[in-house]
Amino acid sequence: MIADDLDRTVDLAVAALRAAPPDAWDAKAGSLDWTCWETVEHLADDLFAYAVQIGPRTPPMDGLVPFVWESRRLGGPANAVHANRDAGPSGLLQVLEASGALLVAMARVTRPHVRAHHVFGASDPEGFAAMGVVETLVHTHDLAEGLGLPWDPPADVCARVLARLFPDAPSDEPPWPTLLWATGRADLPGRPRPTTWRWNGTPR
């Protein structure tokens, strides 16, 4: 189900971002220090990185698959995935869609007992797919703020990914605001937003 949620989330994100004005992509993405263009590249890179991490016959348990991650500017995200600027926003979103499809496919075909390294702890294919869901949900939130777009993802998807990666998150508030709170992007009533956070990708 998490792989299906990822497929749905990436599709919804791409559809939402297609509404952005062509000249808006150099705006800052929400509270991030990156432009909206860079943030989409970073999101695509996250999805790509999670997919390749579970790809080798013997996935690494002590680090990342050694692609070259590099920043195009000082302070920009260090990515292995970069979109051709000449392809414009439609090409950028095609890169995002392709990276999402790669992780969806890997999550569906990789055997459930497979484990691979993540900086927050080793995880399984479902865990990496769930990480992709969180990355897509919250970075599309950042992008929507920067691009002036609406973004209100499905509550059921948010609830499932909270249960998978943030099992200790509050359960008495709606799932989407709770996910934003859990990732340091919003306050909840009576709960200041976290200044540091991490998910729990431990296989269930």
pLDDT, one tens digit per residue, over 91-117 is 999 999 999 999 999 999 999 999 999
Q: What is the mean pLDDT of the chain?
A: 96
CA distance 31 to 98: 26
Are 133 and 2 in contact by the 8 Å Cβ rule? The answer is yes
pLDDT surpasses 80 at 1: no
The domains of the chain, with CATH numbers, are 2-153 (1.20.120.450)
Average pLDDT over residues 111-133: 97
The per-residue pLDDT for range 17-72, each reduced to its tens digit, is 999 999 999 999 999 999 999 999 999 999 999 999 999 999 999 999 999 999 99
- In the structure, what pLDDT confidence band is assigned to residue 86 with cuts at 50, 70 and 90? very high
pLDDT band per the 50, 70, 90 thresholds, residue 146: very high
Print the SS3 string covering the chain.
Answer: CHHHHHHHHHHHHHHHHCCCCCCCCCCECCCCCCEHHHHHHHHHHHHHHHHHHCCCCCCCCCCCCCCCCECCCCCCCCECCCCCHHHHHHHHHHHHHHHHHHHHHHHHHCCCCCCECCCCCCECHHHHHHHHHHHHHHHHHHHHHHHCCCCCCCHHHHHHHHHHHCCCCCCCCCHHHHHHHHCCCCCECCECCCCCCCCCCCCC
Read off the pLDDT of each residue in 68-95 and give the average, rounded to a whole number.
96
Contacts for 46 with CB less than 8 Å, ≥ 6 apart: 99, 131, 132, 135, 139
